[in-house]
């Protein structure tokens, strides 16, 4: 898996967009970028993933640079409930078996301020 | 929504006790996983299963066993609990098929749905 680098912590004002960066300069062509988050004392929650194109779902948008060496997760209108640790993971997709050893690094602690 | 339910949110056990952690998912997912999470060590994979009665060791299987007799249920067993097994245990499931049974792109292989976790303390 490609190594990912994220800031340790970030603050965001409630109602504003939260932009969480991730560097993955050694990502290979078959590796997707995944974002998960973990609210305190809960299990991780999948947010979004992408390969090359920008992606959007009901939770967030994922912007991947053209060279795929970095990406940004955007929470368009952050709320207090978005306070969590956000993990960026680069990993190949696969069919068949299930050696899904997701490696969660230290992530970014996003603190949404009222 | 896919739900992964872990039977116990908090458990306190004594050293040497046999401990069962149960996990049930309700979306017919083929794959199920057990992780443990410890401060500074992140999530570590203990065991996973990609089919009924199938199991594969993860990174830290020592001291654990698993059982998958039914597709929806994946149990983690600590045969003789020890204090170094005090941890948060997380169950997860995944599938490469959508609710219609259609094969999705391979990127979905790493989309896991986690349970809320079971915090085990071994005294």
Rounded Cα distance, A23 and A4, in Å: 5
Dihedral over Cα of B67, B74, B42, B123: its sign: negative
Residue B32 is predicted with a pLDDT of: 93
- CB-CB contact of A102 with A94 (8 Å): no
Three-class SS state of A82: helix
Q: Per-residue pLDDT for A98 more than 70?
A: no
Q: What is the DSSP string of chain B?
A: ---EEES-SEEEE-TT--EEEEEEESS--SEEEEEEEETTTEEEEEEEESSTT--EE-S--TT-EEEEEETTEEEEEESS--GGG-EEEEEEEE-SB-TTS-B--GGGGG--EE---EEEEE-
Tell me the chain A residues in contact with residue B110 when contact means C-beta distances shorter than 8 Å. 32, 34, 49, 89, 91, 93, 100, 102
Phi/psi at A82 (nearest 5 deg)?
-85, -5
**Average predicted confidence (pLDDT) for chain B:** 92
Strands B73-78 and A84-92: unpaired
Rounded Cα distance, B38 and B29, in Å: 26
Pick from B50, B75, B79: nearest CA to B62: B79
User: Could B114 and A43 be called an inter-chain contact, meaning their C-beta atoms sit closer than 8 Å?
Assistant: yes
Measured between CB atoms, which of A34, A42, A101 is closest to B45?
A101
Share of chain B above pLDDT 90, in %: 69
Question: Which of B39, B61, B110, B116 to mutate to test binding with chain A, by most A CBs within 10 Å of its CB?
Answer: B110
Measured between CB atoms, which of B31, B117, B119 is closest to A98?
B31
Distances (CA, A) of B7 to B4, B76, B77: 10, 11, 13
Q: How sure is the predictor about B96, in pLDDT bands with cuts at 50, 70 and 90?
A: confident
- CB-CB contact of A73 with A60 (8 Å): yes
User: Could B114 and A45 be called an inter-chain contact, meaning their C-beta atoms sit closer than 8 Å?
Assistant: yes
Three-class SS state of A81: helix
Q: How sure is the predictor about A96, in pLDDT bands with cuts at 50, 70 and 90?
A: very low
Pull the structure tokens for residue B67. Answer: 């059982």
Q: Summarize pLDDT for A50-82 with one digit per residue, the tens.
A: 999 999 999 999 999 999 999 999 999 999 999
Three-class SS state of A86: strand
Question: Which of A1, A40, A98, A105 to mutate to test binding with chain B, by most B CBs within 10 Å of its CB?
Answer: A98
């Amino acid at each position: 898996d490609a190594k990912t680098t994220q800031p340790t912590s970030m603050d965001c004002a409630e109602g504003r967009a939260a932009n969480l960066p991730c560097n993955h300069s050694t990502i290979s062509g078959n590796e997707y970028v995944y974002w998960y988050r973990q609210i305190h004392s809960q299990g991780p929650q999948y947010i979004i993933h992408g390969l090359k194109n920008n992606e959007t779902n009901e939770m967030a948008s994922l912007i991947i640079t053209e060279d795929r060496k970095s990406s940004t997760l955007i929470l368009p209108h952050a709320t207090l409930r978005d306070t969590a640790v956000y993990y960026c993971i680069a990993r190949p997709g696969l069919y068949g078996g299930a050696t899904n050893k997701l490696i969660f690094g230290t992530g970014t602690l996003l603190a949404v301020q009222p | 929504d896919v739900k992964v339910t872990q039977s116990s949110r908090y458990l306190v056990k004594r050293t040497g006790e046999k401990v069962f952690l149960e996990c049930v998912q309700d979306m017919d997912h083929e794959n199920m996983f057990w992780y443990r999470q410890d401060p500074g060590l992140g999530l570590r994979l203990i065991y996973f299963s990609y089919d009924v009665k199938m199991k594969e060791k993860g990174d830290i299987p020592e001291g654990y066993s698993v059982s998958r007799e039914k597709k929806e249920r994946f149990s983690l067993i600590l045969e003789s609990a020890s204090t170094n097994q005090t941890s948060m245990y997380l169950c997860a499931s995944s599938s490469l098929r959508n609710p219609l049974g259609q094969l999705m792109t391979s990127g979905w292989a790493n989309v896991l749905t986690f349970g809320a976790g079971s915090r085990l303390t071994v005294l």
